[in-house]
Structures are given as structure tokens and as C-alpha cells.
Chain A
Amino acid sequence: MAGLELQHIEKTFGRTRVLHDVSFEVSDGKFFVLLGPSGCGKSTLLRIIAGLEPQTRGSVSFGGQCVDDVPPSDRDIAMVFQHYALYPHLTVKENLAFGLKMRREPKSVIEARIAETAALLEIYDLLDRKPKELSGGQQQRVAMGRAIVRKPKLFLFDEPLSNLDARLRASMRVELKKLHRRLGTTMVYVTHDQSEAMTLGHAVVVMNRGRIQQIGRPEQIYHEPANPFVAGFIGNPPMNLFEGSYRLDQRQLEFLMGDLTFRFPFQAHERIGAGTGTATLGVRPEDVTFEPEGPGHVASTGTIDLVENLGNDSIVHIMVKGQSLMARTSFGFRQHAGESITIYVKNFHLFINDNRIPLPSL
């Protein structure tokens, strides 16, 4: 059942407004990710959904029912906290049982659910231990178990993997995805880690400074970023962004930066009329190549500044006409710093007035 809907949520702390008119809908059973840099309001939003924090304005509904006046205990949700928040004076088993006991489930049900959850998360051996006797990864599993065992309508995750080391984080990510497929329950997941967002989410909300920047499928957000913020935030290494100006006439759109000019076949339309103004041009490091791959690719020459070897690929920093640019090559890049190089760009992103202007593919 539990689809989630947020309507015009606003939140102010004292005089600071941390959320501005946030609205979105999560359909039942989806994995929904709130992504953004720290301080963007994503955790506050999650806490509002949980009922731990009252919103200043707007409303939250579960499955079409407004829950604004429902306390967290009655929202039938489970939350996994960043720092796990396991009850330190209770054993793992008691931690798992706590929520069920509070809901006065019969003992047999509690036992069965704990057994089921412990098997699912492979924490059977830990049941009699106290949280402080567990490793970080084990604590994480128990925290997850405490949420699963309740069989809630909605799972909320507040950066649950951020305290784990890189390797464990990667494996937990996979497990989490499997878990979601298995349980089929709606999940809302807060993270600042774009790779978590991209791999886990059916849909991703990118937030910055308390505002939604873009909502979309992971690939949509990657390929068609709505504005320069999203373009620069998603992707590793980040998209190369260049500030410049544009000139649009009947036949073509020009992007001007210093003595560089890029021309795109383009028709003026209602969103931007003919004229000039400031603009941002974006190039993904993956879209920079050293061999021409198509006829329309824009070519230029530059000097290699630095080569970062990452094993199976390399990040090449290149100075092109006074501008620094990053390129990502798949493998076998043999050139060194100081050498000159010809680059080809196979795809551009253009933003005018902070909005994406769809360009025809080259």
C-alpha cells in the first residue's frame, strides 16, 4: 500500500529556512533516494517523514492518508540511523524484539520474526551479544535487522552506510539492493554519496540548499542534469563546467568563452529567444576522447597537466587554451605530463539561466 507523498513541505529553524517548498511522490515499493551535499536539508526531510520533526508548512501522507498529526510511534515506519542508535543496554535479540514488544506482539510471533530476520541478515550468532561487542559492520546489520523485524510499511535510511569502510560499504550496498527486492517495501534513503544513489535508487531527488534540484531516474540525472549544480554534483570525476556567454540567432547557438567559440545547430524556441546572455557549458570527462569517434566531434589541442592512474582507467588533466579540463580514458593511456594532445568532445551540456538547454547530439 504505502505510497508516500510530500506536499509543499517547508521547514524553518528560528530564522533559517532549511526546506523550501519540497514536494514529491514515491510510489509503493520503490527505492527512493534523497541525494545532496551535507546541510542540504535531506536529513531534515527524512525526519519530517518519520514524524520526529514537525514541518513548518505542508503535509505528509502515506497511502493517501495525511499523517501530519500522527506520532512516529503510530506511523508504522522503521528507520535506520547513521550512527545505528542500537540500545546499548540490551542484547541484539532484545534490540530486535523491542519494537515488537512495544506493539504487544505475542511472544511466539516475536520469536519467529527474530529467527526470520536473523537468518536473512546472518546475525544468528550475535543474538546474545551487546552492541558494544559488535564490529561496525555487525552493528550496521543489527540496525538493519531492527528495522526489518517490524515489517513496517515504510523504511527510512539516514546515511546508513557512511560509517563503514569502503569495501564493507560496497558489499552492504549490494545487500541492501537485494533486500529491497526481496521485501518489496517502499524505502526512502538519504545519502550524500552519489554512487549509492545511482546504484540503489529507482528514483533520485537531488537537493541543494533546501530545494529540490531535480527528480528523476539515476540515468536521467546523469545524462540530462537539470542545472549546473546537478551536473557538477553527479559523476566522478565531476563534469567540467565552463562559464561563458551565448549568442542565439535564427540558425545557430554560439557559446563563447575567451577566444573560444562553440557553434551548435539550434532553433530558438519559447524557453530562450534570440539574444545573448551568460551561460554554462558542461563536458563530462567520459565524453572527452583522444581519437575521433564520430564526424561531428569537436576537436582542440592542449597540453597534459597531470595524469592520475586509477588502475583500469586514468583521469587526464589537460590545459586547453587556458582552461583546465578533465578527461577519463578507459585504459592504456601512455602519454605523460607536458606533452601536447588532441582532444575530441562527443557531447556537450549547456545551461542558460540555470536551466538545461537540450542540444542536438553531435
Chain B
Amino acid sequence: MMHRPILLGGILLAVLGSLCPFLWFVLTSFKSQIQVEAIPPTWWPDGSLVFYASALFEHRLLHYVRNSVTVAGSATVIALIAATPAAYALARLRLPGKTWILGGLLCVAMFPPIVIAGPVWQILERLGGLNTHWGLVLPYVSLTLPLAVWILTTFFHELPIELEEAARIDGCTTWQALYKIMLPLAAPGLFTAAILTFIYAWNEFFFALLILTDPERQTLPVGIALFQGEFIMPWGEIAAASVIATLPLIILVLLFQRGIINGLSAGAVKK
């Protein structure tokens, strides 16, 4: 019984701690210019939408949103298409050195991205990928693949192999068994991998800044960061833009949460 208040306090602290900056941004985005610069700071905004209008129309926020959707969307789709067969093979086949492959993937995922920044830039320059969306999608895919493969491998591993065997006896080839039976059942894993990949690509700043110098192609994080001029720091607009940039992620997570939680494989096998 003694633990309860302590646990609750801990949870509250964690939630508040991580929410605070976001709350501040949301509050700021609804303030007016005077409120933003007021000293001492005011807590409650007067509900002005000026900053939203300015972010959307003066700073052409939607154009960055479009770029981000393109890049993050393609990175997610490509990463999943590549990760699925890899994960399936790792989960099902008796491959020599399988644990080494999985361990290697994990190691690669641990590397700080800056390590590969130089080579990536050089490769893209050779290939003519600088300032293109595919030039950004490419490193995103290679950076998110390890995680996607890991997640999917775990999921495939947990699906009963009998289902696949039943499918093969029912007339499926290995590929048909994969996409007709195993993939629908691994949907929660696919959702999870997709969301994590998408969030990564959506938020990624460093490579986006490095590879895309043309404002026409820049993604949201870079776009928002470049709101600031030489002498002004448009806090309000940045706050409003950040809220708009965060909304799709929140909606996505809420939507897919159901898919992730719904254990689609329930009832497959008598436990």
C-alpha cells in the first residue's frame, strides 16, 4: 500500500516532465505577439490564431508538410517492403549465423547517424541525389531498416508455424503463404514498424538539413528551423508550425494503436 502514492507520483512526474515543453508550445501558438514577448511571461493565451495564419500562409507551411509526407511516406513503404522478406527469412529459415545477422543489425542501428553523414553525402553527390527527395529517402530507409527488421522478425517468430504449413498444404507457395496468411496476421507488427519508421523520417532533421538545401524540397523540421531570420526569432510561428507538424503523428498513432493492440492472431492456435 505504501508503494501506491510513490508510484503515482512517479508516473505524474514522468508524464508532466515529458509533456511540459509540448504544453508550452501549444500555449504559445495561441498567444499574440505581445503575449509571447511579455515579461514576466503570461501563462494563458488569449486564443489568437494569428501565428497559425502566419505559419501557414507567410511561411508556406503546407508546402513543407507535403514534402515531409512524400519523404516519410516513401521511406516507410520502401523500408517495409524490404524489411518484410528479410524478417520472414530470419524468423523462419534455418540460416547459418542468424544470430550474428540479427546482432549485426542491432549494432548498425546503434551507430550515431553522423558517422555516415560524410559518406552518404559523397554517395549522393555521385548519384545526383543531393537536393532530391529520393536522396533523402535512401538514407532514411537504411537507417530505419534494422529496427523494422527486428520488430517484424519478432512478430513472425511468434506466429505459429503450423499456420504456414496449413497454407502450404492448402496449395500455397512460400510467397503465397507469406502474403495471404502471415502478413495479415503480422499486421500489428507491420503497423508498429511503419509508425516507428514514419515518425523517424518525419522528425529527422540532420540529414534533411544536409541533403536538402533547396527550400522547395525541404521537409518540415528543416523548414520550421529556417523560419528564423537574421535578427528575428518568430517563436509564435514556430510554435504554431510545430503543433501542426505534430498533429499527423498523434492522429496516426491513435489510429493505429487499435491495430497494434488488437491481437489479430488471437484464436489462431489453442493456447
Contacts and interface: CB of A to CB of B under 8 A. Distances in A.
Whether A and B are associated in the same complex: the answer reads yes
Interface of A: 47, 50, 52, 71-73, 75, 77-79, 81-89, 98-99, 102-103, 130-134, 136, 139, 146, 150, 163
A89 B267 CA distance: 9
A73 B264 contact: no
Contacts of B269: 83-85
10 contacts: A73-B170, A79-B166, A79-B169, A84-B270, A85-B166, A88-B264, A99-B171, A102-B172, A103-B171, A163-B270
B75 interface: no
A39 B166 CA distance: 22
B267 A132 contact: yes
Interface stretch (B157-165, B192-200, B253-261): B157-165
B168 interface: yes
Interface string B243-267: 0000000000000000000001111
A88 B265 contact: yes
B173 A73 contact: yes
**Best-surrounded residue of B168, B172, B264, B265 (most CB of chain A within 10 A):** B168
Contacts of A146: 166, 170
Interface of B: 160, 162-163, 165-173, 176, 181, 184-185, 264-270
Given A102-B172, A139-B270, 19 more contacts: A47-B165, A52-B169, A79-B169, A83-B162, A84-B270, A86-B166, A87-B167, A87-B181, A88-B264, A89-B184, A98-B167, A98-B170, A102-B170, A102-B176, A131-B267, A132-B266, A134-B267, A136-B270, A150-B170
- Residue from B165, B168, B170, B185 with most neighbouring chain A CB atoms (10 Å): B170
B267 A130 contact: yes
B259 to A, nearest CB: 12
A85 B163 contact: yes
Closest 6 CB pairs of A and B: A132-B267, A102-B171, A99-B170, A85-B162, A88-B268, A85-B166
B224 to A, nearest CB: 41
Given A130-B267, A163-B270, A85 B160 contact: yes
B181 A81 contact: no
A132 B162 CA distance: 16
B177 to A, nearest CB: 9
A72 B166 CA distance: 10
B165 A52 contact: yes
A139 B266 CA distance: 13
B266 A88 contact: yes
A133 B267 contact: yes
Contacts of B163: 85, 87-88
B171 A85 contact: no
Q: Could you say which of B163, B166, B185 has the most chain A C-beta atoms within 10 Å of its C-beta?
A: B166
Contacts of B167: 87, 98
Contact of A87 (B166, B169, B171, B270): B166
A148 B176 CA distance: 22
Nearest to B174: A71
